[in-house]
Amino acid sequence: MDTKLVREFGTEILSYRLRTVRQKKRMQYEDFDKQLIRLHKENRMLRRLQRNLGWEPLTPPVQKGWKRNFVLREDVARSKHAEFFDNILKKINTHDWSYRKDFRVRKRRYGRNKYGVKTQSLLRPYSYQFERMGFTEVERQFFYEHWEYTWKRELIKRYVFCEPWRFVLRVRPNMIDKVRKKDVELEKRMHEIDDYLEWNNHRCRVEKLVYGKCSYGKGFDDLRFPVKNPCKNRPVHLLLNDIEEGLL
């Protein structure tokens, strides 16, 4: 409450709970922040509803590229231990996709474009992953410990399957026989919220309100310019003085 009003009308005016200009302005900001939070919650709810709409069959099916994974070798599949190694394969199998059937990728070397087969290997689980995969004692005997360095130069332990020759890669067409169901009203409302936050530059404000920090729009510029430019927004005569003094 403004002290000028108190002196003019007395302390009885405090019972009316009149707000000052600063308080009214602050209430406007708080109300706008609440609106942004409501839009964020609504957008998350709509996306959750969209994911839970389910799938519908696609007729006729459409091929999109090729997929590749490991299968048992023919002699291993005919042996009496086929079920045992099939259980191991289900836990360490990997899947890959490519638009080419031969899975060749371009590798630029010495200014030339060369093509090589894309490599694919079995899963090498970390120690904490290996304990959660539910391997039996007999299955554990087919893995050995392998220590390697991460990109942070930290030494970690991984488990590698000691008989990878039992599995071979198989390439099959990647057929799409089902698609997600769509709701026009849901997508329309989500686009309206995204456009409002994007075109009015409210995305960063929403992240600060919800997550406590803003990471939107950062990354590329921060890597290119990690240090502040000392010549930015400074007059020429000050720059010349810094050059004469050897500061630049």
- Per-residue pLDDT tens over the stretch 86-97: 999 999 999 999
- Per-residue pLDDT tens over the stretch 19-68: 777 888 999 999 999 999 999 999 999 999 999 999 999 999 999 999 99
Beta bridge mates, 55: 180
Quick check: is 197 in a domain? yes
Sign of CA dihedral 236, 239, 244, 245: positive
Quick check: is 159 in a domain? yes
Q: State the pLDDT at residue 227.
A: 58
Do residues 44 and 143 share a domain? Answer: no
Do residues 62 and 174 share a domain? Answer: yes
Q: State the pLDDT at residue 1.
A: 52
Q: State the pLDDT at residue 108.
A: 74
Do residues 136 and 61 share a domain? Answer: yes
Quick check: is 242 in a domain? no
Quick check: is 105 in a domain? yes
Tell me the C-alpha distance between 131 and 146, whole Å: 15
Do residues 113 and 87 share a domain? Answer: yes
**Domains held by the chain: number:** 2
Do residues 175 and 66 share a domain? Answer: yes
In degrees rounded to 5, what are phi and psi of residue 170? -130, 130
Do residues 86 and 162 share a domain? Answer: yes
Do residues 82 and 138 share a domain? Answer: yes
Quick check: is 130 in a domain? yes
Which structural domain range is residue 11 located in? Answer: 3-54+181-219
Low-confidence ranges of the chain (pLDDT < 70): 1-2, 14-18, 111, 216-228, 248
Q: State the pLDDT at residue 94.
A: 96
pTM, entire model: 0.64
In degrees rounded to 5, what are phi and psi of residue 63? -90, 130
Do residues 197 and 118 share a domain? Answer: no
Q: State the pLDDT at residue 235.
A: 85
Quick check: is 163 in a domain? yes
- Report H helices in 93-219: 127-132, 137-140, 184-199, 203-211
Quick check: is 226 in a domain? no
